[in-house]
Structure 1
Amino acid sequence: MSDSGPVLPWLVIRQDDNGNRYRVGRYATEDEAQKIADSLHARGRHEQLYVVERISQPAL
């Protein structure tokens, strides 16, 4: 935790077959984000790709 709130550096991104990318959510751990991405992929359409990415932390 920081003064600005919880640190959620892991993103789940949905990418469609046209290359459009949308942020699905932010998560505290890579494992948590991957579980969400896996569950979305399992019930999603074949044109959807769910990826996990870490956002860069701003320099202090």
Structure 2
Amino acid sequence: MNDGTVILPWLVIRQDDNGNRYRVGRYATKAEAQKIADSLDDRGHRQLYWIERLNQNGGR
């Protein structure tokens, strides 16, 4: 990563009551993304939170 590019391959996704999905954020590590997803999930709202990893081409 000599070009200054930061790789953030882990996504936190939220799904609301109507089935709409939103990207909450992108993170460098799985542990960091999971920590965020868990903290949001612990709030007790009815939304679902999970993590996904982007592939090397930027897709899921």
TM-score (normalised: structure 2): 0.84
Identity level (%): 72
For these two proteins, the number of residue pairs brought into alignment is 58
Question: SS state of the match for residue 50, structure 1?
Answer: strand
Q: Which residue does the alignment assign to 1:55?
A: 54
Structure 1 portions without partners, runs of 5+: none
> Aligned in 2, Cα 1:7/1:30: closer, same or farther, shift over 3 Å?
same
Root-mean-square deviation (CA, aligned residues, Å) is 1.8
State the distance in 2 between where 1:52 and 1:10 align: 7
Off by >4 Å, runs of 4+ in structure 1: none
State the distance in 2 between where 1:19 and 1:31 align: 26
State the distance in 1 between where 2:33 and 2:2 align: 20
Matches within 5 A, 1:3-18: 3=3, 5-18=5-18
